[in-house]
């Protein structure tokens, strides 16, 4: 048999597991990369990986690699393969195409069409007949991955993702992929526990995925045995006898393994879910081998005859299932059940918020990162023993809120003044909602510490639904923490009712006194973006990952002013953040925009914002230290000239990526001088800062025409706070 270059894909953070798995299959020439493992072998090796891999998504057979600098290069690279070697003219095929950092092709749909055209054109020219497209179960599936200028062309031998074992045919809420379940079990040492006849229990078993994967591991049951379709079945080079021999041997191993299965049990409180799990068990041919029954978490105790083993589950994360309070309470009850009934056992669970694991009251080993789809999660592994138990105390903002809600009854909520807050919020909503409709504004501030006892800012964002962003101003240390918690709990109970949203549409952050550029630091890794509209511009906002959402609402008037003045102008946006001002300039008809920011994350965000909007003009994005870029550019002999410049620097920064420490008060003169040197004749620089004690050094900048426009640039929804920012219009004196 010839030797092929092969590649197995897997979810991020599972590469090591896949490497170990391939080694256990006798494969030696292995190289792990991001989200996959490259290896070599003959067809039998490839078939064995398809049949036995529990952690891979796909097994790809590499046909060629070639350079792609243009669309034509892609077409020619595909046509360089003789496709008649792989399929007949009357066969079917499908194409999957992905690209990363490619300037030639960045639209995956277009790339797939180009590949399809190259294959169809070749077959039509040779045989006057073209193969058909079948996206479900084609004769062959073709995979193209374009990274930069290098394309890798492969046959997808798996056909469809290998996580689809074939036993699950009913979808339930928040399902877990089978290869993730297998990875959890492998990481927890289940194969060794199973050999010692330890029991496997899932007390929140859902559709039974963890139980089934556990049984298949313990029974030496090949995960591909239930599948009736692989990508190589219709391939012209398919070696059917070789495949049939591997399947027959796997069937024999399964038959022997099933006879010595340990006890495997699942519980779930939902009757319909239990029925679904039982159906999946039957589909896998494991009825009478896995016991599943309806039972609440408090009653999920093992029988005295069961040998201690592994308790494992995929509990609700809070993102998809249940409210935060319900989820927090569930984890507390779960921890109590573990302490009461499972001493001497090992336990494991996958969670997206490590603080929920803290609610269990059991110390865990170092968490292991895994991904459930795009959601980054942590696998907690626990030894259930007295020495690991502790009483959870309020540790984070979410714990603090949850505990406040637990100790404050409905009557107590009313006594701490929640009705006063609710009345003020309702009054503000009536006023600002009407104003926002009249001004065609979809995102605005509706409350800003109007009552000192309820020191929060509340912003409404409207897109395809309504979101509420709450920022709690950190209470002074003189305020009793318990009272602060009560008030916050009362506020969180009232906001959804007054604003007519669900609790899941409300996001909360604590705005502490900032140091350096803390306001830009990541708070989470959810990666959920929403689209809003402002002045005809579409912009992306994020409510979970950062303290700020990506759009400073108080700068709305200056953005609109820039949009109004931008026609046929060249616009420079310094300290650009997510580039919203650049989008406004572009939509106002700017002939060119230049967007500069030190953060790769925000430059990417700015590019995505611009891509959402259809506009003409040339748009440049530069990832750089703005001060350094400005200083270098200002010294250039033939430096760029801009008609409009917007500068909104941080108050202070000592970022590791900056050459020097920046202080707005000390450094604004040199910053403004360098920026105005780039102004075209009659050009305007808008300079803004939110440093409340800022004083413009007019004497040092006496040769410039400087006009304070702060009052005109503070919108009505921020008028209660005239120091939210300061803004000046600056021009070179002619």
Question: Does residue 651 belong to any structural domain of this protein?
Answer: yes
Residue 671's CATH number: 3.40.50.150
* Contacts of the segment 444-449: beta carbons below 8 A, 24+ positions apart: 444/553, 444/715, 444/717, 445/553, 445/554, 445/717, 445/718, 446/499, 446/717, 448/718, 448/720, 448/721, 449/473
Torsion of CA 677, 679, 683, 688, to 10 degrees: -70
| Domain limit, last residue, from 336, 358, 392 | 392
Q: What is the pLDDT of residues 513-552, one digit of tens each?
A: 443 333 444 444 557 899 999 999 999 999 988 888 999 9
d(C-alpha 556, C-alpha 558), whole Å:
6
Residue 656 lies in a domain: yes
Given this model, what pLDDT does residue 547 score? 82
pLDDT at 41 over 80: yes
- pLDDT, tens only, 666-717: 899 999 999 999 999 999 999 999 998 899 999 999 999 999 999 999 999 9
Model pLDDT for residues 545-574, shown as the tens digit of each residue: 888 899 999 999 999 999 999 999 999 999
* Tens-place pLDDT, residues 232-278: 999 999 999 999 999 999 999 999 999 999 999 999 998 999 999 99
Q: Does residue 519 contact residue 548 with C-beta atoms inside 8 Å?
A: yes
Convert the pLDDT of each residue in 8-29 to its tens digit: 999 999 999 999 999 999 998 8
How far are the Cα atoms of 48, 162, 276 from residue 225, in angstroms, in the given order? Answer: 11, 11, 21
CATH number for the domain spanning 440: value is 3.30.750.80
The answer to whether residues 354 and 444 belong to one domain is no
Domain termination site, one of 392, 421, 442? 392
| Tens-place pLDDT, residues 196-205 | 999 999 999 9
- CA 238 from chain centre, in angstroms, equals 39
Whether residues 387 and 411 share a domain: the answer is no
> Residue 526 has what pLDDT?
58
* Pair 18, 80 in one domain: yes
What local confidence, expressed as pLDDT, does residue 573 receive? 98
Same domain? 276 vs 336: yes
Q: Which domain holds residue 282?
A: 178-223+252-392
Residue where a domain terminates, one of 453, 483, 513: 513
**pLDDT tens per residue across span 146-191:** 999 999 999 999 999 999 999 997 565 557 899 999 999 999 999 9
Query: Looking at residue 487, what is its pLDDT?
Result: 81
Q: Is residue 127 part of a domain?
A: yes
DSSP secondary structure string, 446-503? EEESSSTTS-EEEEEEESSSEEEEEEEEPPPTTS-HHHHHHHHHHHHHHHHHHHT--G
152 and 12 in a common domain: yes
Residue 652 or residue 242, greater confidence: 242
Is there a domain that residue 356 lies in?
A: yes
Indicate if the pLDDT at residue 610 is higher than 50.
yes
Pair (368, 508) in one structural domain: no
pLDDT 10s digits, 132-148: 999 999 999 999 999 99
For the beta carbon of residue 366, count every other beta carbon within 10 angstroms.
Answer: 7
Residue 390's pLDDT is what? 78
- Tell me how many domains the chain contains: 4
Residue 39 lies in a domain: yes
Q: Are residues 189 and 152 in the same domain?
A: no
205 in the same domain as 78: no
**Cα 175 to Cα 66: distance, rounded to the nearest angstrom:** 39
Mean pLDDT across the chain, nearest whole number?
Answer: 89
φ, ψ of residue 514 in degrees (nearest 5): -85, 145
Are 205 and 353 part of one and the same domain? yes
Is 522 inside a domain boundary? no
> For residue 63, what pLDDT is reported?
98
Shared domain for 560 and 665, answered yes or no, is yes
483 and 628 inside one domain? no
CATH code where residue 74 lies: 3.30.2130.30
Q: Does a structural domain hold residue 203?
A: yes
Pairing of strands 132-133, 150-156: unpaired
Do 16 and 136 lie in one domain? The reply is yes
């Amino acid at each position: 048999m010839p030797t092929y270059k092969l590649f197995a894909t897997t979810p991020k953070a599972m590469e090591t597991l896949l490497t170990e798995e391939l080694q256990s299959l006798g494969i030696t020439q292995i190289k792990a990369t991001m989200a996959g493992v490259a290896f070599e072998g003959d067809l039998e090796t490839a078939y064995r990986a398809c049949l036995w891999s529990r952690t891979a998504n796909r097994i790809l057979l590499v046909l060629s690699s070639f350079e792609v600098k243009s669309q034509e290069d892609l077409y020619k690279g595909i046509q360089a393969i003789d496709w008649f070697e792989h399929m007949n003219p009357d066969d079917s095929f499908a194409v999957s195409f992905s690209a990363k950092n490619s300037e030639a092709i960045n639209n995956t749909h277009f790339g797939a069409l180009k590949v399809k055209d190259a294959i169809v054109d070749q077959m039509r020219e040779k045989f006057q007949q073209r193969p058909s497209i079948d996206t479900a179960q084609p004769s062959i599936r073709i995979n193209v991955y374009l990274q930069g200028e290098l394309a890798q062309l492969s046959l997808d031998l798996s056909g469809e993702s290998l996580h689809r074992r074939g036993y699950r045919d009913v979808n339930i809420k928040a399902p877990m992929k089978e290869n993730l379940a297998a990875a959890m079990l492998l990481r927890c040492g289940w194969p060794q526990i199973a050999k010692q006849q330890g029991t496997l229990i899932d007390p929140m078993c859902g559709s039974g995925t963890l139980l089934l994967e556990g049984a298949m591991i313990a029974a030496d049951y090949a995960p591909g045995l239930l599948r009736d379709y692989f990508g190589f079945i219709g391939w012209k080079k398919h070696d059917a006898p070789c495949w049939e021999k591997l399947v027959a041997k796997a069937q024999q191993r399964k038959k022997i393994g099933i006879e010595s299965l340990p006890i495997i049990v699942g519980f779930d409180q939902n009757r319909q879910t239990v029925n679904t799990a039982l159906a999946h068990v039957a589909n896998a041919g494991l009825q009478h081998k896995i016991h599943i029954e309806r039972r609440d978490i408090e009653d999920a105790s093992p029988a005295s005859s069961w040998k201690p083993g592994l308790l494992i589950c995929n509990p609700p994360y809070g993102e998809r299932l249940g409210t935060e309070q319900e989820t927090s309470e569930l984890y507390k009850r779960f921890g109590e059940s573990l302490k009461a009934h499972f001493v001497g056992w090992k336990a494991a669970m996958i969670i997206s918020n490590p603080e929920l694991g803290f609610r269990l009251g059991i110390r865990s080993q170092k968490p292991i990162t895994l991904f459930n789809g795009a959601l980054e999660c942590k696998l907690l592994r626990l030894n259930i023993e007295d020495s690991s138990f502790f009483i959870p105390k309020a540790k984070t903002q979410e714990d603090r809120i949850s505990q406040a809600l637990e100790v404050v009854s409905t009557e107590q909520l009313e006594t701490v003044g929640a009705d006063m807050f609710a009345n003020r919020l309702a009054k503000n909503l009536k006023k600002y909602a009407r104003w926002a409709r009249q001004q065609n504004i979809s995102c605005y501030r509706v409350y800003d510490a109007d009552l000192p006892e309820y020191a929060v800012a509340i912003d409404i964002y409207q897109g395809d639904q309504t979101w509420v962003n709450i920022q709690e101003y950190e209470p002074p240390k003189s305020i009793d923490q318990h009272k602060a918690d009560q008030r916050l709990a009362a506020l969180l109970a009232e906001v959804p009712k007054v604003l007519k949203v669900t609790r899941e549409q409300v996001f909360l952050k604590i705005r502490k006194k900032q140091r350096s550029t803390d306001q830009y630091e990541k708070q989470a890794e959810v990666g959920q973006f929403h689209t809003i509209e402002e002045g005809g511009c579409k912009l992306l906002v994020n409510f979970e990952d950062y303290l700020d959402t990506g759009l400073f609402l108080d700068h709305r008037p200056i953005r609109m002013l820039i949009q109004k003045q931008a026609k046929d102008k060249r616009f420079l946006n310094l300290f650009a953040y997510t580039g919203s001002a650049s989008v406004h300039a572009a939509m106002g008809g700017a002939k060119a925009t230049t967007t500069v920011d030190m953060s790769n994350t925000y430059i990417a965000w700015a590019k995505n914002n611009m891509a959402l909007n259809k506009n003409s003009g040339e748009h440049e994005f530069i990832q750089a230290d703005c001060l350094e870029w400005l200083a270098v550019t200002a010294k250039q002999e033939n430096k760029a000239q801009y008609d409009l410049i917007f500068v909104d620097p941080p108050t202070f920064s000592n970022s590791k990526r900056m050459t020097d420490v920046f202080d707005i008060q000390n450094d604004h003169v040199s910053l403004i001088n360098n920026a105005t040197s780039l102004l075209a004749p009659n050009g305007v620089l808008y300079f803004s800062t939110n440093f409340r004690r800022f004083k413009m050094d007019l004497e040092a900048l006496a040769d410039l025409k400087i006009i304070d426009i702060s009052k005109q640039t503070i919108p009505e929804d921020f008028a209660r706070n005239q120091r939210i920012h300061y803004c000046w219009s600056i021009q070179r004196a002619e």
